[in-house]
Amino acid sequence: MNGLEGKVIAITGGAGGIGESTARKLYEQGASLVITDREAGPVEDIARSLGERAVGLAVDVTRREDNERMVATALDRFGRLDGVFLNAGIEGEIGPFDSRTDAAWDKVFAVNVQGVRLGAEAALPALRRGNGGSIVITSSVAGLRGAAGLSPYVSSKHAVVGMMKCLAAELGPENIRVNTLNPGPVANRMMESIEEQANPGHADEVHQSFEARIPLGRYVNNEECAGMAAFLLSDAASGCTGNTYVVDGGLCAQ
């Protein structure tokens, strides 16, 4: 048994990248899924490609009612909720600290922090009714260290690490585990955006610079991050709560 058979998991940010890879891995291991993202089309396509134990749903994580609808869909379709993977996030704009506008900060925090808070709040009643479960939040190695030019993003990823630790302390007695997934540079759309913003027209040079700092000599991939997320959502991680789980090719070892 892999600890996921029969589980019901809701995923935000499921239309691509780590979210989609995690959905596919969870489904392969026997979980039923509510896969969400801002637009219905991509997640509905993913759900159809998986099978009858998956449903796709449009959810704006910054809206309380959308998060509640995600949980209600899990309960209506599958009768329970065992875990949530709060993965939706945006990188925002890169630039000096004193050049970022209020709107730029607000946009990043609305998705990366408030979206996590609202998702966790929406899930708690269902997790409590099921006598426990798992909340996994996608943070980043940027939630463990600093990075010039990425103040809103880095601050948001530190914020959800703090939120995770508070939730783990509060919810442990109810058998609800809470952890963060902290990826390093990942070979996906978000990292491509960061590379291009950092040095427009020369993203490949930024990529090479990042890779040179990673002991494994490469970016991690979506599937490697999905493996960690799936573990944390499973019963195999029954003793794991209140911690950051890094998948970074060794970047933080230096």
CB atoms within 10 A of CB 112: 28
* Enclosing H/E stretch for 171: helix 151-171
pLDDT category at 191 given cuts 50, 70, 90 is confident
153 is catalytic: yes
For the stretch 109-114, contacts whose Cβ atoms lie closer than 8 Å and that sit 24 or more positions apart, written own/partner, are 109/152, 109/155, 109/156, 109/159, 110/62, 111/61, 111/62, 112/153, 112/156, 112/157, 112/159, 112/160, 113/156, 113/159, 113/160, 113/163, 114/61, 114/62
What span, in angstroms and rounded, lies between the C-alpha atoms of 53 and 58? 17
For the chain, the domains span 8-184+221-245, 188-219
Mean pLDDT score, 116-139: 98
pLDDT at 199: 78
Sign of CA dihedral 123, 244, 172, 163: negative
Mean pLDDT of 114-126: 99
* Across 237-250, average pLDDT: 98
Q: Which of 27, 153, 219, 245 is catalytic?
A: 153
The whole-number average pLDDT for the span 236-252 is 97
Residue 202, C-beta contacts closer than 8 angstroms, at least 6 positions apart = none
Whole-number pLDDT of residue 187? 85
Strand order in the sheet with 8-12: 54-58, 32-37, 8-12, 83-86, 133-138, 176-183, 244-247
Fold adopted by 8-184+221-245:
Rossmann fold (3.40.50)
> What pLDDT was estimated at residue 94?
86
pLDDT-based confidence at residue 184 (cuts at 50, 70, 90): very high
| Mean residue pLDDT across the chain | 96
DSSP string, 177-195: EEEEEEE-SBSSHHHHHHH
pLDDT score at 202: 86
Q: Which of 6-15, 91-100, 135-144, 214-223 has the lowest mean pLDDT?
A: 91-100
Contact 113, 163 (CB under 8 A): yes
